[in-house]
Amino acid sequence: MNRKKISIVLSLITLLIFQSCAQKQNSMTSDDHTYNALNKEEERVIVNKGTEAPFTGKYYLAKDSGLYLCKRCDTPLYSSSDKFNSGCGWPSFDDAIKGAVKETPDLDGHRVEITCNKCGAHLGHVFKGEGFTDKNTRHCVNSISLNFAPEVENAKTDTAIFAAGCFWGVEYHMQKEVGVITAESGYIGGHVKNPSYKEVCTGRTGHAEAVRVIFDPNKTSYKKLAMLFFETHDPTQVDGQGPDLGNQYRSEIFYLNDAQKNTALELIQILKLKGYDVATKVTATSTFYVAEEYHQDYYESNGHMPYCHRYTKRF
């Protein structure tokens, strides 16, 4: 094959590769079955990592109470309670909703990009050490990357608290359930104020490792989450789960109202009729203490899978 023919073939291959990449990019940015539709300017910022002009965004000086959501996938990202005016020209937040935002250093090493942890939408950049607030952090976010849910909508959430062994595995499974907004590891049911992980591990504080789940009742239900609780651990094991032994690893539901209590007892009765010797306790909720930061999103942060929690259909 002469050089001219080789050149033509290489050009055709390059064209096909370019078209394939373009088609893949288009499917990623316009798949309205997965993400919300974006206009050209929104796509420039959210998908192609652009920046809107300072002092032009609709949320720059907004002060209403509520939640700021990812425009691409509607995931809650920031609370208005963490918003402040830094004077930079873009909405500023000194914290994000736990697990909602991912931080990635730019290739130039000068800045840290922030993206939606669910869909990868570009939000802006995070800066630390500026001293604007006590948290010493500024999430500088493009308004165009956000939607806003006023507090009246934000109020449509509910809470559930489950203990089922190591809280890492419980949190892992709960976070994956549709309708769950956040899942937070912590301690509950003991007699020591503000216990540390080291203290709880002794088994002498009376606390159970537990997970507090905030969910949208329009997308899931307490009953569905309670069923998931029973199907992702062994509810027949007493004071332990798998190799983790001790009363801090007990199976227990902490109910917030009579409706939750009745649902838990109903599910336990169903399991007993199926032959399960259920050891799960059902207890009125008490003070929930959030666990140390390194326990939050443990499996997601470390790239591992739960070692003593797996799904087993029981209902």
Query: Any idea what DSSP says for residue 207?
Result: -
Q: Which residues are catalytic?
A: 140, 166
In degrees, rounded to 5, the angle at the alpha carbon of residue 180 between the alpha carbons of residues 137 and 160 is: 100
Query: Any idea what DSSP says for residue 115?
Result: E
Determine the Cα–Cα distance for residues 142 and 92; give it in Å rounded to an integer. Answer: 9
Pick the closest to residue 127 from 97, 99, 100, 105 (CA basis): 105
Pick the closest to residue 184 from 206, 207, 204, 168 (CA basis): 168
Q: Tokens at residue 175, please?
A: 């976070």
Q: Are strands 122-128 and 137-141 parallel, antiparallel or unpaired?
A: antiparallel
Cα 2 from chain centre: 58
Q: Could you report how far apart the first and last alpha carbons of the chain are, in Å?
A: 67
Determine the Cα–Cα distance for residues 289 and 305; give it in Å rounded to an integer. Answer: 25
Q: Kindly give, in sequence order, each residue whose CB lies less than 8 Å from that of residue 236, ignoring residues fewer than 6 positions away.
A: 276, 277, 278, 279
Determine the Cα–Cα distance for residues 290 and 78; give it in Å rounded to an integer. Answer: 19
